[in-house]
Amino acid sequence: MNKPQPFRGVLLENEPLAKYTSWRVGGPAKWMYIPEDKGDLVDFIAGLPAGEQLFWIGLGSNLLIRDGGISGTVINTRNRLKDMRLIDSGRVYVEAGVPCAHVARFCSDLELTGAEFLAGIPGTMGGALKMNAGAFGGETWAIVDQVEMVNARGVVTRRGRQAFEVSYRAVKGADDEWFLSAELKLSKGDSEASMQQIKALLEKRNATQPTNKPTCGSVFKNPPGDYAARLIEACGLKGYRIGGAVVSEKHANFIVNTGNATAIDIEMLIDRIQAQVEAQFGVKLQTEVCRVGEQL
């Protein structure tokens, strides 16, 4: 790929991706672009060759990059696309690179309620929009009013909530486009009560999840009327290991990299869990984590 001009960000070639993911695994990106800001990113995308494959990464949670890496261009929004501001009463503008936990606290400081659950999501708003991320009974798209998107030609559009088909951990209507920002619609409330709710949610998360370990967050979606963690634990799989990957003893829906795991270790463990749960309970667990890239 010829470097498109002009751009103000950083373009890296054959950049190892493991250091950008919360699981600490993954091969290299053929190209990685770290934009200066939203405008620079749009210009960069507009200058790419037709057909160039794009993949976006924020905090690298909910993501398994295979050991062969990604052959296209990775857009890295970590510490970029980080503008967040109050638009008017009850409406907040958030760019895709802002960590969800920052959004929760920002809204609370403004005495706006409804975004507290975002404190429990270990990713950015871009990823939360893509998968309708949720925690503690709240879901991202419940508070979204409209979004700003960019396509592979660098054309930016705005769309309302009604343009998307949103369900549990899934959003349809964003094919070949990527989220740049969102406008959230929230309710006026009590800042102190909101902060206390965030504190309680984080305490619960820390008590029940291996938050200090290299994980991706929850690996599997909860099946209707049940919990993936309950099924996995009932199969006796807590502590089950393949290579450097192990099912967390603290929460069975988390897989921990004990220090030397590869992506194939984790993927084989995912497949093993699915097979065991289906054999014992007749339930085919669906992955919440996004698996991308090429095998070695």
Cα separation, 229 vs 221, in Å, equals 10
Considering the entire predicted model, what is its pTM? 0.91
C-alpha of 164 from chain center:
18
According to DSSP, the β-strands at 91-95 and 177-185 are antiparallel
Q: Which two tokens stand for residue 80?
A: 């970029």
Give the C-alpha distances (Å, rounded to integers) separating 214 from 91, 99, 121, 260, 261: 34, 18, 15, 11, 10
Per-residue pLDDT tens for 45-85? Answer: 999 999 999 999 999 999 999 999 999 999 999 999 999 99
Token pair 């210009």 is found at 43
- Given CATH 3.30.2350.10, say whether it is the number of domain 228-292: no
| CA nearest neighbour of 285 among 218, 208, 238 | 218
Per-residue pLDDT tens for 125-177? Answer: 999 999 999 988 999 999 999 999 999 999 999 999 999 999 999 999 878 89
Report the catalytic residues. 169, 218, 288
Q: Which CATH number fits domain 84-208: 3.30.565.10, 3.40.50.740, 3.40.50.720, 3.30.465.10?
A: 3.30.465.10
Better-predicted residue by pLDDT, 5 or 104: 104
Per-residue pLDDT tens for 187-204? Answer: 999 989 999 999 999 999
- Residue pair 167/199 in contact by the 8 Å Cβ criterion: no
Q: Residue ranges of the domains in the chain?
A: 84-208, 228-292
Q: How many CB atoms sit inside 10 A of residue 190's CB? A: 12
- Residue pair 262/223 in contact by the 8 Å Cβ criterion: no
Q: What is the pLDDT of residue 225?
A: 95
